[in-house]
Amino acid sequence: MQKNILIIGACGQIGTELTYTLRAQYGNDSIIASDIREGNEELMNSGPFELLDATDYDALEELIAYYEIDEVYLMAAMLSATAEKFPMRAWNLNMNSLFNVLNLAKEKKISKIFWPSSIAVFGPNTPATDTPQNTIMEPSTVYGISKQSGERWCEYYHNKFGVDVRSIRYPGLISWKTMPGGGTTDYGVEIYHKALNEGEYTCFLRASTKLPMMYMDDAIRATLEIMQSPAEQIKTRSSYNLAAMSFTPAEVATSIASHIAGFKMIYEPDSRQEIADSWPSSIDDSKASKDWGWQAQFDLEKTTKAMLANLKT
């Protein structure tokens, strides 16, 4: 039987590309895109689209019944930099939307959930290099605290109620179709736009700040691979470490400069520097590789080529 899938937060950086990819795989009518605001025309016109506040349990329950939804991808969240400005709003959105989908699965109204976690679950006391799957976490940001709590709840609902929830800890995501919003790793996308349009970029992080990053094609593939794996292969029900590459602002500037002669980088670190300093510089994702075969395909050079080629057209 054809299953219907609901994407919550479909207009965001990940949600947009996830919607297109799932529509290509399962057919446009089976993928219901939803968001609290309208998105681009292509996304809204290529299949069903609904305005939805993910913190409104009744509205969500109604939508799930109406479209006979089987799986939910909960991509709505307030990211690290914005969450520091609005801590209570971030907690409310990030936690209550998760409780809503977990409780709908507990009530057997949906059968499978994808929920994104982040490298933000780690904190200043975490080993920063090759950060293991299981280690000290102690996140120091509002966003990180919400993601770590979310991971605990996902594992709890799986163990106590058999909820089939699957999750990965995304690194910073580099994409060209939709801009990110409110994150600390957003510079990794902005830099390509500014390089092409203005030939220079003022970076809000220091030159030497190394963070784990991933090209969007890898992130979408990882998301579908974990969701499409047999349940017994998903042995971690909090969230999986996931990695592809790590780079500093200076390294991505060098990579861009090898394609755009004269590209200039200026450094003006702001409050986001403190957030970045609390996160790991590289991630050990061997558990994801072992359990469900994860393998990244994009390094920095391949990412730079893909970003510049796609943004130019």
| Active-site amino acid positions | 143
| Local structure of residue 28 (DSSP, 8 states) | G
Of the candidate spans 95-103, 182-190, 216-224, 293-301, the one that interacts with ligand AKB by CB under 6 A turns out to be 182-190
Size of the site for ligand AKB (CB under 6 A): 11
> Could you tell me whether strands 245-247 and 211-215 are parallel, antiparallel, or unpaired per DSSP bridges?
antiparallel
Phi, psi of 204 (to 5 degrees): -85, 5
Amino acid at 40: N
**Residue 281 makes contact with ligand AKB by CB under 6 A:** no
**Binding residue for ligand AKB, selected from 6, 14, 64, 79, defined by CB under 6 A:** 79
**Residue 144 makes contact with ligand AKB by CB under 6 A:** no
Query: Which burial class, exposed, middle or buried, applies to 41 when counting CB atoms under 10 A from its CB (0-12, 13-18, 19+)?
Result: exposed
**Residue 183 makes contact with ligand AKB by CB under 6 A:** yes
**Residue 118 makes contact with ligand AKB by CB under 6 A:** yes
Question: 48 to each of 23, 35, 71, 85, 186, how far by Cα in Å?
Answer: 10, 12, 15, 33, 29
Residue appearing with tokens 């349940």: 231
Nearer to ligand AKB, 47 or 212 (CB): 212
Contact 174, 215 (CB under 8 A): yes
The site map against ligand AKB for 37-76 (x = CB under 6 A) is: ----------------------------------------
Q: Which two tokens stand for residue 35?
A: 């968001």
**Residue 80 makes contact with ligand AKB by CB under 6 A:** yes
Which chain residues interact with ligand AKB by CB under 6 A? Answer: 79-80, 118-120, 143, 170, 172, 183-185
